[in-house]
Every structure is written in structure tokens, then in C-alpha cells.
Amino acid sequence: MSTNTPDRTRVRLSDISSRAYEHPADRGALVALRSLRGFDEVFKRLSGLFNERALRLLFLAGAVRVSERQFSDVHDYVRDAAYVLDLDEVPELYIQQDPKPNAMAIGSQKPFMVMTTGLFDLLDAEEQRFVVGHEVGHILSGHAVYRTMLLALIRLASRVAWIPLGYIGLRAIVTALEEWHRKSELSCDRAGLLAAQNPESAKRALMKMAGGSRLAEMNPDAFLEQAAEYDRGGDARDSVIKLLSLMGQTHPFAVIRMAELDRWISDGSYEQVLQGNYPRRDTDRDASIGEEARNAANSYKESWNRSEDPLLGTLKDVAGSAANAGGRIFDTVAERWKGSGRRDDSDRGGDGDSSAR
């Protein structure tokens, strides 16, 4: 039975900053982009090349909009996720007929979400809560703007593939954005967990995305063992194959997502957030780009330290030095950019506040 008030059995995370759940590599990129004066606005203007209003009308015409009268239970999950993660507005969700399991958050001005019937039919109620929370996390983080840029660049790269140097340059940018995108998915798995506050349902959902609906035939411990085996790899040839397999991939493999989420729970980070120990949104503008760059590099270093992959083992020391050097560079660039912005505002008589999420 649908209710008219949010489910208050879950802990509400008032004024939570998306930095509370973002993967260090995702958070580092977002903090850097948000701090650059006017950069968010440029991205939003470019994302306008994909007509957000037209996309919404497309789903309004060809999918089912979740509401109190249509998919009322799912409507409750959306409303509860917005309540727990303290969103100002409850985003729209559309259920689209498509056998392929998928969900996405679209738009920058008024983001909305889409879930395919393939995913909806695959999951039980609590697993659906996790997926809805995952997409709400994308909206809170402002991922849609940068994801749209990735899609635009992928399309552009395909059109200029016949120009060798142009394609190589674009491909390098796209590869970097794809790596960021994969880390953003890890971030929002954490957001989905915070919204649902049911670790077992989150793990079940990730297992089903890999193995389908026959949950009774699957085992979480065995699935995590798969992740460990994949991480170990074999010799250097396997390491290269794994790197090549990521080309064109915007989502991490399911076993990796499961292992990363399990680690976030096991190290106490999840519980810390539920207890109220998390950054608030009013401190976002004070986040240090250099510090986040160091955190991102150190997260890669820690990941490689855990790994038994022979190729990654050679990169551990490189990551450590890059963490400090990269942090100093970002600090210098940020200060110069901000200083330039303050001078521009002084010339125009402005107040210098142009931060955007």
C-alpha cells in the first residue's frame, strides 16, 4: 500500500554533501571542475546540445511516469530516497519498456530518471530502492552534466575517426572521461546503499545484474571470491587484457562493484555516514582541489597495494609521487584561477560567487 509520507524508518542525512559518498577519483574530478569559474556553466551549455526538454517529452510520450497512481510503490522509493539524501525536489522517474536491464539519470536543469522494465522486473522491492537511490545519487552529485559531455565527445570521436590526430586526441579525452564515469558508478552504488540502508539488498541487486534473476543459485561470498580472482589475474598478458577490456566501458564490471561496495561497508565508512559524520553542502566551496587530487591518487595507490596484479604492482611508487606532485599543481592552478576570477569580479563590481553543483 502506498503511503503519503516519507518512510522515516531510515536515517535522514540532512544537508549531506555528495562528497560523503563519492569515490576519491570521482570526487577529485568534480571538486576541480566545480571550482573552475564558469566551467559548470560551459558544460551545461554544451549539454544543451542534447535537448533536455525534447528528451523529457520523448519519455513522457513513450514511457510510464511513476506517480501515486502509476507504480505507486516505486514512487514511494523515489520520494524516500529524495528524503533520505535531502534533495530539494523529488525527481521524476519513468518506467520504459526495454528488456535490457538499465537505469539512468538525465538532464542538468531538471534531471529525471529512467528505469527499464528489464531492470524493474529483475529486482525485488528493496533492490529497486537501491537502484533508485543510485540514480538519485547521480542527480545529487551533478553527474548528468559531465556524462552528457562524455556522450557528446564519444559521438564526435566517431565522426572524426578518419582524421588520425584528431581522433587520437579525442580518444584520449574520452578514455579519461570513461575512467571517471566508472568511478562515478562506484560513488552512486554508495549513494544507493545510503538511500536504501539495506546492505544485503544492494549486494543482491549487483549480483542479479551479473547473473540474472536466479538468486537462489548465487552466493555473495562466492561472488566476492570471483572479484578477488579477477583482481589477481594471471601473468602480464592477463593484465593487458583487463586494461583493453575497459576500452569503451562506462560501467565497472559487476564483481568489481560488489567488492568496492563491500569494502566501503567493511571499513566503517557506511556506518560513519549513518551516524552523522559526513561533510555538509555548505562546506563544498571550501573543498581543496589539491587535497582531493592527492586523495584520488592515493586511492589508486591503495587499490594497487591491495592488488596482486603483476602489472599494477609496478605502478605503486608512481602513484605515491604523483599524489603529492599532482596535489601541488592543482593547488597552484586553483589559486591562480580563483585569483583571476576575483580580479574579474572586482573589475565588474561583482560579488565573485559563481559556484554551481
Q: Edge to edge, what strands does the sheet with 93-96 contain?
A: 64-65, 93-96, 112-116, 103-106
Q: Which of 67, 248, 77 is nearest to 157 (CA)?
A: 248
Amino acid at 80: D
Phi-psi region of 212 (alpha: psi -120 to 50; beta: other; left: phi over 0): left
Choice among 135, 178, 185, 292 that is catalytic? 135
Residue 118 · residue 213 · CB < 8 Å: no
> Taking the alpha carbons of 353, 30, 206, 204 in that order, is the dihedral positive or negative?
negative
**Torsion angle defined by CA atoms of residues 161, 165, 171 and 174, in that order, rounded to the nearest 10 degrees:** -110
**Helix, strand, coil shares, percent, the chain, to 5:** 65, 5, 30
Q: Which of 142, 126, 23 is nearest to 80 (CA)?
A: 126
Annotated catalytic residue 126: no
DSSP-based three-state secondary structure for 16: strand
CA distances from 139 to 86, 126, 238 (A): 12, 20, 36
Residue with cell 586553483: 334
What is the C-alpha separation between 357 and 22, in angstroms, rounded? 14
Nearest-Å Rg of the Cα atoms of the chain is: 21
**How open is the CA angle 61-67-69, to the nearest 5 degrees?**
100
Cell of 38: 564558469
- Active site members: 135
